[in-house]
Amino acid sequence: MKRIAIVGGGFTGVSAAVQLVRRSPAPLAITLIEARERIGPGLAYATHDPDHRLNGPTWVHSVDPLDGGHFTRWCEAHGVFDHDPRARQPSGAAFVRRAVFGAYLEDQVRVHAQATPSGSTLHTVQARAIGALQRGAETVVLTDQGQTIAADLLLLATGNALPRLPAPLEPALAAHPGVIENPLDTERLRHIPRSARVLVIGSGLTALDVVCTLERQGHAGGAVLLSRRGLRPRPQPPFSGPLPVPEGRDNLDRVLGPAPDWLLQAEPSARAWLRALRAQVRAAGGHWYPDFDALRDTVWQLWPRLPLAQQQRFLRRLRPWYDVHRFRSPPPTEAIVNAAIAAGRVQPLAARLRGLRAEGRTLVAQLQAACADAPHPARFDAVVNCTGLDVASRTAGNPLLRSLVAQGWLQADAVGVGYAVDAQCRPIGRDGAAREHLRLVGPPTLGTFGDPGGAMYIAAQIHRMVPGLLAALGGSVSAPPARTAPRRPAPA
């Protein structure tokens, strides 16, 4: 049996394991290595807060993109909608708790470890991968438990790093009792005093989750939702009637389909694509969701066409606006946050954070609005870091990735937001050659593919990678279900 070691037991690693088990015609010996006690939830879905929800409907969260309805059916079979009636919307779309998705992923590991049509095996190892070396034709993974795990191919599914305090904040501030560096640490959030004056740095989906936690706890001290531009995630599109529910590979066919002509015919530049998108939206009477989604679904095809200078321009100037349209707030979250703002318990503020210092248990932030000549001090009892992903910390905080960079197996991509890979997700090393014995999937490939965020797009990326991976092992991929004409489902 060919051996595959997968490092990372969050969504990316679980989806890779499940798709390989399902699609390989020959038996594989798969080892899934994860330091956390639970395999499946990873960083994003380990929260137990009932108000932390998936920002997309259940039909875009299946572990296998060939079966878009799988997670929805799992929720129905496990009574999720009976126990959480707020999840299902009048349109039929359901936005379930993130903890539910973590339980689903955990269950898929168990199910696929027990029975596989091809006779493959799926074994899990609770340990931290700290290094890897090449030994003849095999790759050996080293763990902090002293294990050596040999494989014919190593798949890196390391996902996102733990959040860290952004510049210009001093790293030492993370030790202050009032500073919550990792906003996914729900236990720390629960211990914020109700009377505390709270500064939430950032205004994306994670920041909205923090607001929901404070609201459920009856927080009365007030909170400031700080972001440089004052942007917030857009809400999910309004629907007046039932939605067509994607089935089978409907979602996958949409992502694998060609980019729209109005984008392909435009000059490959960020400005030209933005101009083309705006023209489409105007022609549609201002209803932006369908045309934006057509762009979003094919970013992985379009991004490599952009010259490097244009990619850098997009990341520097347009990405915040792209992200607030791309990562939308689920309806239950939107309702809680809007009510808190209307009641004055939460204040959105567009300003820069110029500094933060501790005065005993009090935290003094230097805030500077766009029109102000200088920052002004504001005092808080708690500060929650919701600034998003710190890509630079991936290597610093992950001993395996640090080791692979040092050995020259990995190098930064051209735009500096991840690691360089080719179209088959083979890392391009320091010598410029693709590593045939190695694959890298998920968020660390953002610089190459533009937008491998979200379950549906990560699963689709893995789907595209699987044939080449199996071919590298000397096998082929089993035939997927017959492709049917894709239906255009409602925006996710």
Same fold, 2-162+391-472 and 171-234+329-385: yes
- Whether residue 489 is predicted with pLDDT greater than 50 in this model: the reply is no
pLDDT of residue 488: 40
Ramachandran region of residue 119, left (φ > 0), alpha (ψ -120 to 50) or beta? left
Q: Mean pLDDT, to the nearest integer, of 232-259?
A: 87
Give residue limits of the domains in the chain.
Answer: 2-162+391-472, 171-234+329-385
b/e 221-259 (16+ beta carbons within 10 angstroms → b): bebbbbbeeebbbbebbeeeeebebbebbbbbbbbbeeb
Condensed to tens digits (0 to 9), the pLDDT of residues 415-428 reads 988 899 999 999 99
Q: Mean pLDDT, to the nearest integer, of 64-79?
A: 96
pLDDT of residue 482: 41
Q: Mean pLDDT, to the nearest integer, of 348-365?
A: 96
- Whether residue 65 is predicted with pLDDT greater than 60 in this model: the reply is yes
Q: Mean pLDDT, to the nearest integer, of 463-470?
A: 96
Q: How far is CA 281 from CA 243, 276, 298, 360, in A?
A: 21, 9, 17, 52
CA distance 125 to 215: 38
- Whether residue 238 is predicted with pLDDT greater than 60 in this model: the reply is yes
- Whether residue 191 is predicted with pLDDT greater than 90 in this model: the reply is yes
Name the CATH superfamily for 2-162+391-472. FAD/NAD(P)-binding domain (3.50.50.60)
- Confidence at 481, pLDDT banded by 50, 70, 90: very low
- Confidence at 486, pLDDT banded by 50, 70, 90: very low
pLDDT of residue 491: 45
Condensed to tens digits (0 to 9), the pLDDT of residues 368-402 reads 998 888 999 999 999 999 987 655 555 667 999 99
- Whether residue 437 is predicted with pLDDT greater than 70 in this model: the reply is yes
pLDDT of residue 490: 45
Q: Mean pLDDT, to the nearest integer, of 192-217?
A: 96
pLDDT of residue 372: 87
CA distance 455 to 453: 7
Top pLDDT among 245 and 400 is at 400
Task: Give the strand pairing for 153-156 and 148-151.
Answer: unpaired
Q: Mean pLDDT, to the nearest integer, of 268-287?
A: 95
Question: What whole-number percentage of the chain has pLDDT above 90?
Answer: 82
Ramachandran region of residue 65, left (φ > 0), alpha (ψ -120 to 50) or beta? alpha
pTM for this structure? 0.93
Q: Of 151, 234, 148, which is closest to residue 472 (Cα–Cα)?
A: 151
- Confidence at 342, pLDDT banded by 50, 70, 90: very high
Which stretch of 353-357, 388-392, 468-472 has the lowest confidence by average pLDDT? 388-392
Q: Mean pLDDT, to the nearest integer, of 74-93?
A: 94
Condensed to tens digits (0 to 9), the pLDDT of residues 13-36 reads 999 999 999 999 999 999 999 999
CATH number of this structure's domain 171-234+329-385: 3.50.50.60
Q: Which residue has the tokens 């936690």?
A: 213
Q: Mean pLDDT, to the nearest integer, of 231-252?
A: 85
pLDDT of residue 485: 37
Q: Mean pLDDT, to the nearest integer, of 167-181?
A: 94
The per-residue pLDDT of the chain, averaged, comes to 91
Condensed to tens digits (0 to 9), the pLDDT of residues 306-315 reads 999 999 999 9
